[in-house]
Structure 1
Amino acid sequence: MSIFTNWTDAHTRKFQNDIMCVNHNLASTGLFSDGALADMLDNHPDHMLDVCTMGKDKMYPNKFRTGDFRGCDGKSLIEMVQQGKLYINARRAMNLHPQYNEILQQMYAELSEKTGNKEFNANGGILISSPIAKVPYHTDRQHVVLWHIHGTKRVYVYPMANKFMSDTSYEAVATNTLLDDLPYEDVFDEDATVLTLKGGEMACWQLNQPHRVVNETFCVSIASEYSDHTSALKNSAMYAQAAMRSRFSSKPVWKDTAPPIRLAKAVAGKILKKSGLYKTTITPDFVTFKVDKTAPGYIVDIEPVQRDF
């Protein structure tokens, strides 16, 4: 079985360089039916499973809140997602479960063949989200590919410009273990490229390109990510920029910086991180609600407690 059904030379040119969509047939594997996903959830480690809902932060609209899902079986979780306001991320599910990993390896073998890129070291999470779920405006530290399988969702992708993500904002992401959200304003949408994805479409964009997602129906997707020399170099350089900005009140910039300077920043960033001279911000994950099948919307708010599962 070939993963892609309509890949052309134009897709090869656009991959990693521009916004692109292409068709795939992952649904035909049978691994993404409600029953198969319920079985996967029942066997997925708790510490690798996130069940969230959307919050009401003004600067970070729809910022995810973490829920305590313990005691819920996979079938019940999927039913509650279909009817409520929940979002499941089974992190690295495509790596941890052999039948899914077999497909992940094929997905990236075909990407390698079609793009000539041999650096893939992909992780793949399975996203199961409610009809009214929204993913907040954010960036990713690594290259991301969204493989949409069931349902309809709109993906808003924004230009790589300082207006939409400043160096300061990305430095905060690069030096934080949990943060990837960005400050958002409604006016940003005037410049967004909007992709309406149906099941069987894959989408990707440039490294770090800001984006957000709005579901129109119950959705199932794979979000896969991989690092390469470009992403590793930038993340190390931004680590150095964060140190320069906070320790020496300098105003470093990334865009239009000459390649030798970028490389020097990356080397400095690696040294700073490894030596502990500039520490990564470790943000604890707080649980703020309990998933309860008997409650309205399946959500019971609780006093925030640091996640320990």
Structure 2
Amino acid sequence: MQSIIQPLEPQQRELCGKQTIKLRHNLAGNDLFSDDSLAKLIETAAPKSLAMHTEGGHDPSNWPVVARGDAPGARVLDAARHGKLWINLVGITEWDSRFAELADQVFAEFANQVPGLDVVKHKLGVLISSPKATVHYHVDIPGQAIWQLRGRKRFMIFPASEPFLKPVELEAAVRSATYGVASYQPWYDDYAEVHDLEPGDALHWPLNGPHRIENFDELSVSLTSEHWTPDIRRTYAMNYGNGLLRRYGWTPRSRAVSGPAFWTKVGLTAAYRRSGLQNKLGYQRIPTFVVDPDGPNGVRPLA
């Protein structure tokens, strides 16, 4: 079996998870990411696993949500190729065994190359986005990497600290109260790491590093990976607990991931999630457009 990740440099192994590392992979050209395969994935994905948006301002949580309607997968790709669509096949490892096997291989290879890496959970997604489409400034919650397969894009990564990332915004994203929203100022770009990705490039960046993306003039297809380690889970619980405290009128005083206060937040987080309130109060995707390859931006308003 051909390896996916090309050998890392010694310094990359040491820096993985602490600094941004750019590596090479062998997935570009894989039949899993051909037009025919992508079209079938779009057609077979359940609505909750097919997140589609068209651009609409600088707040990704307000981007219009797009339904597939009865458009065949090939027509959805046509709309993406000629319009302004952002398509995310979410958690594909949970409903396609080929991608589950791919994820297992990717993280087994990471574990072999990165000393001490302890991944306890992982998943993959597939991103398809239009030429010159943008992904505005936002933050993701688990450990993240992007694997460029088709097309080129510019990836800009920012420090995961103030002023680039405010604790209150990170906490809201962790609780799914927003769609990863983080405040952005144009001068932030002066402090960004800028990486131009081509097919065969991959990028892994530090936890919760805000980022924004600009596609070049071609359809882009990327694989995304997310992973959880014990340390990432502890950071998640701390941010979630702090967000709950803030929501109910308390100002958090600590971002520690150990000690009595931390374990109180762990219990608070677990109780809140079990209550179902996150699902009731969290960000919801409600379609207002439907795919139409002949419409402006590849969509039309939903009747």
Per the normalisation by structure 2, the TM-score is: 0.90
Q: Which shows bigger deviation, 21-30 or 264-273?
A: 264-273
The amino acid that maps onto 1:10 is Q
Task: Count residues with an aligned counterpart.
Answer: 298
Match of 1:121 in 2: 121
Q: Deviations over 1:241-287 (max 9, x none)?
A: 12332334424342xx47436633543433542574x9433232221
Q: Which shows bigger deviation, 232-241 or 264-273?
A: 264-273
Checking the alignment, whether the CA contact within 8 Å between 1:95 and 1:104 is kept in structure 2 is no
Instruction: Call closer, same or farther: CA 1:64–1:261 in 2, change over 3 Å.
Output: farther
- Is 1:101 the counterpart of 2:100? The answer is yes
Match of 1:240 in 2: 241
Instruction: Call closer, same or farther: CA 1:259–1:273 in 2, change over 3 Å.
Output: same
Checking the alignment, whether the CA contact within 8 Å between 2:140 and 2:208 is kept in structure 1 is yes
Query: In 2, Cα distance between the equivalents of 1:265 and 1:157?
Result: 33
Q: Deviations over 1:25-64 (max 9, x none)?
A: 102432112122122222222321112111124xx27953
Query: In 2, Cα distance between the equivalents of 1:126 and 1:258?
Result: 32
The amino acid that maps onto 2:64 is R
**1:115 offset after TM fit, Å?**
1.3
Instruction: Call closer, same or farther: CA 1:50–1:61 in 2, change over 3 Å.
Output: closer
Checking the alignment, whether the CA contact within 8 Å between 1:52 and 1:64 is kept in structure 2 is yes
Checking the alignment, whether the CA contact within 8 Å between 1:157 and 1:193 is kept in structure 2 is yes
The amino acid that maps onto 1:105 is D
The amino acid that maps onto 1:260 is G
> Gaps spanning 5+ residues in structure 2: where?
none
- Is 1:264 the counterpart of 2:302? The answer is no
Match of 1:273 in 2: 272
Checking the alignment, whether the CA contact within 8 Å between 1:124 and 1:223 is kept in structure 2 is yes
Query: In 1, Cα distance between the equivalents of 2:10 and 2:92?
Result: 31
**1:155 offset after TM fit, Å?**
0.8
Query: In 1, Cα distance between the equivalents of 2:265 and 2:88?
Result: 31
Match of 2:75 in 1: 76
Match of 1:202 in 2: 202
Checking the alignment, whether the CA contact within 8 Å between 2:82 and 2:293 is kept in structure 1 is no
The amino acid that maps onto 2:181 is D
Query: In 2, Cα distance between the equivalents of 1:213 and 1:166?
Result: 20
Give secondary structure in 2 for the equivalent of 1:104. Answer: helix
Checking the alignment, whether the CA contact within 8 Å between 1:52 and 1:87 is kept in structure 2 is yes
Higher relative contact order, chain-length normalized (CA < 8 Å, sep 6+): 2
Q: Deviations over 1:170-229 (max 9, x none)?
A: 111122255212121111111111111111111011111111111113111011111221
Match of 1:283 in 2: 283
**1:89 offset after TM fit, Å?**
0.6
> Gaps spanning 5+ residues in structure 1: where?
304-309
Per the normalisation by structure 1, the TM-score is: 0.88
Checking the alignment, whether the CA contact within 8 Å between 2:93 and 2:103 is kept in structure 1 is yes
- Is 1:226 the counterpart of 2:222? The answer is no
Match of 1:187 in 2: 187
**1:129 offset after TM fit, Å?**
0.7
Checking the alignment, whether the CA contact within 8 Å between 2:142 and 2:227 is kept in structure 1 is yes
Query: In 2, Cα distance between the equivalents of 1:44 and 1:81?
Result: 17
Query: In 1, Cα distance between the equivalents of 2:61 and 2:188?
Result: 16
Q: RMSD of the TM alignment (CA)?
A: 2.3
Give secondary structure in 2 for the equivalent of 1:293. Answer: coil
Checking the alignment, whether the CA contact within 8 Å between 1:155 and 1:194 is kept in structure 2 is yes
Give secondary structure in 1 for the equivalent of 2:14. Answer: helix
Match of 1:164 in 2: 164
Checking the alignment, whether the CA contact within 8 Å between 1:145 and 1:225 is kept in structure 2 is yes
Give secondary structure in 2 for the equivalent of 1:289. Answer: strand
Give secondary structure in 2 for the equivalent of 1:27. Answer: coil
Q: Deviations over 1:83-109 (max 9, x none)?
A: 111111111224422223222221111
Match of 1:10 in 2: 11
Query: In 1, Cα distance between the equivalents of 2:243 and 2:29?
Result: 45
Match of 2:133 in 1: 133
Give secondary structure in 1 for the equivalent of 2:104. Answer: helix
Instruction: Call closer, same or farther: CA 1:215–1:62 in 2, change over 3 Å.
Output: farther
